[in-house]
């Protein structure tokens, strides 16, 4: 058990409002616009207690967008280190989840899977990570992602493997 | 005048009403143009790999093993462009309106279609293309039947032999 893990139980997490910090790591900005959309009165996530904060030190959840360019990597590590435990991350968009259209470009490290390895080396623990695919992810998809993170909703997608029958 | 401002705001707010959508309780607004994840219909797919070639973000990948051809769709990298649905020769790919794809396990985002490759009709050992693809080719180009069931190396050999035979350089004994 890592320290602070009891906080990770959904029932415990629901007791407090989730404060989010928005971290763009080199995405095209469309995902960021969708995040701003989520915070506008139209989607109004403050009704769920989700609030944008200006400093990672105040945040419970990091909304990470973009494929993590080499230039932003040191800053991303510093930012994530500043987030108090339990450290929750929502990887938003195709870029953050799998590198997106830039997954094999020289300028990026290729999404959150590569970042996880770097963070492990640096000793920064991620307590929970939820992937929200989409390019950009719809505002509803982001809200759904937060629900999955809090354990309110069950993930709908499942890994499938279909063998083709010869006709 | 300034003292009246809050009242004016109240008036505007009353006229506008509530704009917030009630997403988790009510279905979201999805227009006809919206594209979500794709679904590959395994009963139609022939394993040609056209979708893998066109996919701009390599969300669709192909993996060849000795007897299998696996088409893998990784939702996490898909940009929902719909190009794959356009190029598929048998229209096996449909664009759905599904967007609630969040998950905490990245493996959940993989969808695989596994094709078994047919055995070469000449040498009986080499495997080349999925059975359904061969059938598709023969249906489109009936002439190809002689070669379609053969693996690459046997195809080459048969072609060379056929040429030599035609020029009288190869003598095949009648059985
Ligand atoms: S996932 Fe798509 S929309 Fe989002 S930052 Fe990357 S390229 Fe832009
Ligand atoms: S919709 Fe576009 S990105 Fe997604 S699998 Fe098809 S071609 Fe690739
Ligand atoms: S283009 Fe269509 S038939 Fe060819 S591999 Fe892709 S899904 Fe299958």
pLDDT in tens, A38-66: 998 888 888 888 889 999 999 989 999 99
Q: Which atom of ligand 3 is nearest to B87's Cα?
A: 1
When the pLDDT of each residue in chain B is averaged and rounded to a whole number, the result is 86
Mutate to test the interface with B, among A45, A46, A97 (most CBs of B within 10 A): A97
Please list every residue in chain A whose beta carbon sits closer than 8 Å to the beta carbon of residue B24: 143-144, 147
State if residue B51 touches ligand 3 by the CB under 6 angstroms criterion: yes
Q: How many angstroms separate the CA atoms of A164 and A109, rounded?
A: 35
Q: Provide CB contacts within 8 A for A133, sequence distance 6+.
A: A93, A94, A97, A98, A141, B37, B75, B76, B77, B78, B101, B102, B109
Residue A2 pLDDT: 42
Identify the three-state secondary structure at position A9: coil
Taking the C-alpha atoms of residue B92 and residue A5, their distance in angstroms, rounded to an integer, is: 45
CATH for the B33-166 domain, from 3.30.360.10, 3.40.50.620, 3.30.70.20, 3.30.300.30: 3.30.70.20
**pLDDT tens column, B1-27:** 677 788 888 888 888 888 888 877 788
**Residue A166 C-alpha, separation from nearest chain B C-alpha, in angstroms:** 6
| Spatial distance between the Cα atoms of A21 and A53, rounded to a whole number of angstroms | 6
Quote ipTM for the complex.
Answer: 0.84
CATH code 3.40.50.150 for A5-150: no
The residue whose CA is least distant from atom 2 of ligand 2 is B81
Encoding tokens for residue A123? 């000793």
* Tens-place pLDDT, residues B127-167: 888 888 888 888 888 888 878 888 888 888 888 888 888 87
Identify the residue whose C-alpha is closest to ligand 3 atom 6.
Answer: B51
Q: Is B59 near chain A, with CB under 8 Å?
A: yes
**pLDDT tens, position by position, A86-133:** 889 999 999 999 888 888 889 999 889 889 999 999 888 888 899 999
With residues binned 3-state (H G I as helix, E B as strand, rest as coil), the percentages for chain A, rounded to 5, are: 40, 15, 40
Residue spans per domain, chain A: 5-150
- Rounded to a whole number of angstroms, the distance from the CA of B166 to the nearest CA of chain A is 36
For residue B6, the model assigns a pLDDT of 82
Q: Do A131 and B104 touch (CB under 8 A)?
A: yes
B102 interfaces chain A, CB cutoff of 8 Å: yes
Contact B138, A167 (CB under 8 A): no
């Amino acid at each position: 058990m890592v320290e602070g893990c009891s906080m990770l139980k959904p029932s415990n997490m629901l007791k407090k409002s989730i404060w989010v910090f928005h971290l763009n790591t080199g995405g095209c900005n469309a995902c960021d616009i969708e995040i701003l959309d989520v915070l506008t009165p139209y989607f109004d996530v403050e009704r769920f207690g989700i609030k944008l904060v200006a400093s990672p030190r105040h945040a419970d959840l990091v909304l990470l967008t973009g494929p993590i360019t080499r230039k932003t990597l040191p800053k991303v590590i510093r930012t994530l280190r500043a987030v108090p435990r339990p450290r929750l991350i929502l990887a938003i968009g195709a870029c953050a989840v799998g590198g997106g259209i830039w997954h094999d470009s020289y300028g990026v490290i290729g999404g959150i899977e590569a970042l996880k390895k770097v963070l492990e080396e640096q000793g920064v623990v991620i307590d929970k990570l939820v992937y929200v695919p989409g390019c950009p992810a719809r505002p509803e998809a982001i809200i759904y992602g937060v629900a999955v993170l809090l354990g309110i909703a069950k993930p709908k997608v499942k890994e499938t493997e279909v063998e083709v029958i010869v006709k | 005048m300034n003292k009246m401002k809050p009242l004016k705001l109240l008036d505007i707010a009353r006229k506008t009403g509530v704009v917030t959508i009630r997403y988790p309780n009510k279905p979201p607004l999805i227009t006809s143009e919206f594209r979500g994840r794709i679904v590959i219909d395994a009963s139609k797919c022939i394993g040609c790999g056209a979708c893998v070639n066109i996919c701009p973000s390599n969300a669709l990948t192909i993996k060849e093993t000795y007897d299998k051809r696996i088409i893998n769709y990784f939702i996490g990298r898909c940009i929902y462009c719909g190009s794959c649905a356009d190029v598929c020769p048998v229209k096996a790919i449909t664009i759905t309106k599904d967007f609630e794809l969040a998950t905490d396990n990245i493996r959940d985002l993989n969808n695989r279609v596994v094709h078994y490759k047919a055995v070469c009709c000449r040498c009986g050992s080499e495997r080349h293309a999925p059975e359904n693809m061969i059938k598709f080719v023969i249906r489109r180009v009936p002439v190809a039947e002689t070669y379609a069931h053969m693996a690459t190396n046997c195809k080459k050999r048969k072609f060379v032999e056929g040429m030599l035979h035609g020029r009288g350089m190869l003598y095949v004994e009648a059985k």
